[in-house]
Amino acid sequence: MAVYWLSFRIHDDAAKGKTYDERYGAFEESILAHSPTYWKETTSFIIFNSSADIDTIAANLKIIIDPAVDLFLLRKMNVKSARICGANHDPGIFNLITYLKQI
């Protein structure tokens, strides 16, 4: 199993026909489907373990959010593997995490 960290922002308004609470809840449920063990004591940041690969997790999360307004950054720990998806208005992240891939 690999350990991942996930930072995200769910836009306050309704998007894709779902409320903020519906999208936030579905986002968390998707993580729980990958791992019953997680840590989420801080706002919009979760650490979890999963046997799924980073692209599968990222694809599942992308389906739930509205990339026009929501955003997530997913990183697999102990290897240089990270994915970003959504409304990222600061391309400087690609200078900070040079192996980051946009999906």
Structural domains counted in the chain = 1
pLDDT per residue as tens digits for the range 8-59 = 999 888 777 888 898 888 888 888 887 878 888 888 999 999 999 999 999 9
* Helix locations, 1-103, DSSP H: 20-34, 54-64, 93-96
Could you tell me if 7 and 83 are in contact, meaning their C-beta atoms sit under 8 angstroms apart? no
What was the pLDDT predicted at 69?
93
Q: Dihedral sign for Cα 51, 57, 60, 64, please.
A: positive
- pLDDT of the residue at 41: 83
Domain that holds residue 36: 2-102
> Regarding beta strands 81-86 and 38-39, do their DSSP bridges make them parallel or antiparallel, or are they unpaired?
unpaired
User: What is this structure's pTM?
Assistant: 0.89
Question: How far apart, in Å, do the first and last CA atoms of the chain sit?
Answer: 23
Check residue 51 and report its DSSP letter: S
Alpha-carbon distances of 62 from 10, 41, 56, 84, 92, rounded to whole Å: 12, 23, 10, 10, 21
CA atoms within 13 A on the CB side of 51: 1
Among 19-23, 48-52, 65-69, 88-92, the range scoring the smallest mean pLDDT is 19-23
Query: What band does 87 get if pLDDT is binned at 50, 70 and 90?
Result: very high
pLDDT of residue 16: 78
pLDDT band at 82 (very low <50, low <70, confident <90, very high): very high
